[in-house]
């Protein structure tokens, strides 16, 4: 996707790379890690994120082929300015054993069906609900934030075997979730594409594997 990069962003990335070596990472992994770190000014995300280059490559292709993008809250949608998103939180209602965020995920799935990219940056219950559906996602960016349920829901996402971007800690939020999607959106398309990896690794693990 062609876009004009502001000089402030250029300088910000220069400073980021001066403090964090990402040159060893595969291209899409590097793009996601850098944009998430940049969005939060938090270098710890480099060792906290868990992602897979092969899954990112497939998601990148799906995204640029027009796959729907579903978000859990409008704040995530606000951060994704160059692609239409689906958010059904305004239409959702809570009920016994069901949060409003979870109901919004149900409503969105009824609309988009399988094959979408799901971007969850706020509610762990939204991610938990997605895992109960037969959504067959192109990718789940599961980065909800909080002290209750966030770690557990992200661990469940990784255990599900679905293609995913997640992180291990309680950290997350709308800005970093949108940033992860934007990294794929802004990354150029290529006929050859990046070389897939065989299993999910954190960027720090990838670094140590490469050095061993």
Looking only at the bridges linking them, the beta strands covering 49-50 and 164-167 are antiparallel
**Does residue 38 have an active-site annotation?**
yes
Catalytic member of 38, 83, 103, 187: 38
Reduced to 3 states (helix: H, G, I; strand: E, B; else coil), residue 69 is: strand
Distance of CA 61 to CAs 67, 154, 160, 177, 192, Å? 9, 24, 22, 19, 11
Distance of CA 156 to CAs 108, 129, 135, 141, 159, Å? 21, 11, 15, 13, 5
Distance CA 25, CA 124 (A): 29
The CB density around residue 22, as the number of other CB atoms within 10 Å, is 17
Distance CA 189, CA 186 (A): 9
Among 105, 106, 35, 111, which residue's Cα sits nearest to residue 68? 111
Residues identified as active-site: 38
């Amino acid at each position: 996707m062609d876009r004009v990069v502001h000089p402030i962003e250029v300088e910000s990335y220069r400073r980021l790379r001066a403090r964090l070596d990402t040159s060893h990472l595969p291209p899409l992994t590097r793009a996601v890690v850098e944009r998430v770190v940049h969005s939060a000014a938090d270098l710890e995300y480099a060792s906290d994120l868990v992602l897979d280059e092969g899954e990112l490559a497939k998601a990148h292709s799906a995204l640029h082929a027009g796959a729907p993008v579903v978000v859990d809250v409008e704040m995530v949608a606000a951060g994704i300015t160059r692609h239409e998103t689906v958010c059904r939180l305004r239409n959702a209602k809570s009920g016994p054993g069901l949060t409003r965020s979870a109901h919004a995920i149900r409503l969105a799935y009824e609309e988009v069906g399988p094959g979408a990219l799901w971007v969850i940056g706020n509610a762990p219950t939204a991610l938990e609900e997605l895992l109960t559906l037969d959504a067959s996602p192109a990718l789940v960016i599961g980065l909800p934030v909080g002290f209750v349920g966030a770690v557990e829901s992200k661990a469940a996402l990784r255990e599900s075997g679905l293609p995913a971007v997640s992180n291990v800690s309680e950290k997350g939020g709308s800005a970093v979730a949108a940033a992860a999607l934007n990294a794929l959106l802004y990354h150029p398309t290529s006929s050859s594409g990046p070389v897939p990896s065989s299993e999910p690794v954190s960027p720090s693990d990838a670094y140590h594997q490469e050095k061993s």
